[in-house]
Amino acid sequence: EVQLVESGGGLVKPGGSLRLSCAASGFTFSNAWMSWVRQAPGKGLEWVGRIKSKTDGGTTDYAAPVKGRFTISRDDSKNTLYLQMNSLKTEDTAVYYCTTEAVAVASPVFDYWGQGTLVTVSS
């Protein structure tokens, strides 16, 4: 059974930093492309960014609102995905979901999701 468990959310002041983690199990993590998707309170889904498998180059792509501030990385030895968030703004307040890409289906879609972790940016 695929499981994705996010952690690291919490309250942080504007301009601060936070690192989220996503522990993965139930599939071959090292082969998987992974994404982060967020959802502001009462709002819709917003893609944050993705990291490809090392086999496919390990490169990252980011949404414009977070580019240059957020960094996605992975530790395949720990089956863990990370999201380093710097220079946080109030508009970054959201539930952050860790998702797999193309694990269940061979297509660029978000096929498995974690339960999410809440990040609140407020003074």
Among 12, 24, 35, 83, binds other proteins (CB under 8 A): 35
Among 8, 80, 93, 111, binds other proteins (CB under 8 A): 111
Among 1, 41, 57, 64, binds other proteins (CB under 8 A): 64
Asked if residue 100 lies in contact with residue 112, where contact means CB atoms within 8 angstroms, the answer is: yes
- Residue 39's DSSP bridge partners are 45, 95
> N- to C-terminal Cα distance for the chain?
40
Asked if residue 100 lies in contact with residue 25, where contact means CB atoms within 8 angstroms, the answer is: no
Among 46, 71, 118, 120, binds other proteins (CB under 8 A): 46
Residue with tokens 């995905």: 81
Between residues 58 and 108, which has the closer beta carbon with respect to other proteins?
A: 108
Binding piece for other proteins, criterion CB under 8 A, among 19-27, 40-48, 72-80, 84-92: 40-48
Two structure tokens written together for 41: 């309170």
* R_g over Cα of the chain: 14
Name the site residues for other proteins (rule: CB under 8 A).
35, 37, 44-47, 61-64, 97, 104-105, 107-111, 113-116
